[in-house]
C-alpha cells in the first residue's frame, strides 16, 4: 500500500509540477513584461518576486496535498510586521527553497549553484535577483545583498551551504551575517523538519509526510550589534539547533 501511495504521489506530482511550471512561467513572463511597461522597475520586480512565491506555494502546499502537508507555526508574538528580514533556515531537503513561499514578503534566496541550473526555474530565479553565493565574489555578493535589503527585499538563506546528510546541523557560513551587521536587518531563525525524505538527498522520489516549519522570534540589531560575524552566526545556529532538536523529538 505504501509503495502504491509513493508511486501515485510521484507520478501525479511530477506531471502536475511540469504542467503547472510551464504554464506559470509563460504567464509570469507575459505578466512581467506588461508590469515592466506600466510600472517603475522596482515595483515590477516586487510583483515578480511575490508571484514567484505564489508559484512556490502552489508547488509545495497544493500539488502534493494530501500526501505532503505543511505544519507551519509562527512562534513569534510580533504578528506580521513589515520586513525586510533575513530568514535563516536549516537545510535538509531540496524542497526547502519552495517552503520559503510561506512567508508573505517580497523575498529572494541565496542559493547554491544547482538551482540556477534547473531549466526555466533557474533563469527566472536569477532574473528575479536570487543570488548564487558560490558563483560570485564575496564583495559582489555583499554589495548586492545589502542593496536588496536597503530596497526592502527580504532574504532567505541556508547558511549550512549544503543539505545535511543526517539530522545534525552543519556549521554556518558567515557571509550573510556580515550583511546583517552592515544593514542592521533583523534576523528570523526558521526551523524545518520532516522533509528529509521529500525528497531524500541523491533522489527525486517524494515520500508522504508532514513538513514542520517553525518561525522563531526575530533577533533585532539591538541584540546583536556588538557581536562579531562569527559570534552572530553561532548565536543564530544555537537557537536553530535547539528548536530543531525539540521538533525532531515531537511525534
Partner 1 sequence: MTEQEAIKMVNEVFVDSFEIDPSKLKPEANIFNDLGLDSLDIVDLVVALQKKFGVTLRSDERIRNIRTLGDIHQFIFTLKKELNK
Interacting residues with partner 1 (CB under 8 A): 138, 171-175, 178, 228-231, 233-234, 237
Nearer to partner 1, 71 or 238 (CB): 238
Pick from 222, 156, 220, 215: which is nearest to 186 by CA?
A: 220
- Gap between the terminal Cα atoms of the chain: 22
The beta-strand segments (E) located in the chain are 68-74, 85-89, 107-111, 131-132, 154-157, 186-193, 209-215
- Name the grid cell of 232: 552572530
CA distance 109 to 85: 12
Shortest reach from residue 214's CB to partner 1, in Å = 23
Shortest reach from residue 172's CB to partner 1, in Å = 7
Shortest reach from residue 167's CB to partner 1, in Å = 17
Nearer to partner 1, 48 or 179 (CB): 179
Which phi and psi angles does 107 have, rounded to 5°?
Answer: -145, 145
Nearer to partner 1, 25 or 235 (CB): 235
CA distance 95 to 212: 12
Nearer to partner 1, 175 or 216 (CB): 175
Nearer to partner 1, 5 or 231 (CB): 231
Shortest reach from residue 227's CB to partner 1, in Å = 9
Sequence-ordered list of residues with C-beta below 8 angstroms from that of 220, at least 6 positions apart, any chain: 186
In three-state secondary structure terms, 118 is coil
Shortest reach from residue 139's CB to partner 1, in Å = 11
Nearer to partner 1, 168 or 249 (CB): 168
- Angle, CA of 41, 44 and 45, to the nearest 5°: 90
CA distance 6 to 1: 9
Shortest reach from residue 175's CB to partner 1, in Å = 6
Amino acid at each position: 500500500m505504501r509503495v502504491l501511495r509513493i508511486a501515485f504521489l510521484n507520478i501525479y506530482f511530477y506531471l502536475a509540477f511540469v504542467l503547472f511550471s510551464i504554464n506559470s512561467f509563460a504567464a509570469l513572463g507575459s505578466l512581467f513584461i506588461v508590469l515592466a511597461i506600466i510600472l517603475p522597475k522596482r515595483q515590477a520586480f516586487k510583483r515578480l518576486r511575490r508571484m514567484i512565491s505564489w508559484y512556490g506555494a502552489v508547488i509545495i502546499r497544493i500539488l502534493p496535498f494530501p500526501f505532503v502537508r505543511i505544519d507551519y507555526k509562527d512562534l513569534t508574538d510580533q504578528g506580521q510586521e513589515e520586513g525586510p528580514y533575513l530568514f535563516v533556515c536549516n537545510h535538509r531537503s531540496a524542497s526547502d527553497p519552495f517552503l520559503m513561499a510561506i512567508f508573505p514578503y517580497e523575498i529572494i534566496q541565496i542559493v547554491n549553484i544547482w538551482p540556477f541550473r534547473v531549466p526555466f526555474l533557474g533563469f527566472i530565479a536569477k532574473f528575479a535577483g536570487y543570488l548564487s553565493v558560490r558563483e560570485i565574489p564575496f564583495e559582489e555578493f555583499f554589495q548586492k545583498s545589502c542593496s536588496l535589503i536597503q530596497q526592502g527585499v527580504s532574504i532567505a538563506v541556508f547558511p549550512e551551504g549544503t543539505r545535511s546528510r543526517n539530522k545534525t546541523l552543519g556549521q554556518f557560513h558567515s557571509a550573510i551575517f556580515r550583511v546583517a551587521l552592515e544593514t542592521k536587518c533583523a534576523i528570523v531563525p526558521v526551523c524545518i523538519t520532516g522533509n528529509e525524505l521529500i525528497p531524500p538527498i541523491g533522489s527525486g522520489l517524494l515520500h508522504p509526510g508532514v513538513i514542520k516549519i517553525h518561525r522563531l522570534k526575530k533577533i533585532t540589531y539591538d541584540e546583536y550589534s556588538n557581536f562579531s560575524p562569527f559570534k552572530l552566526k553561532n548565536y543564530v545556529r544555537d537557537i536553530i539547533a535547539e528548536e530543531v532538536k525539540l521538533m525532531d523529538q515531537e511525534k
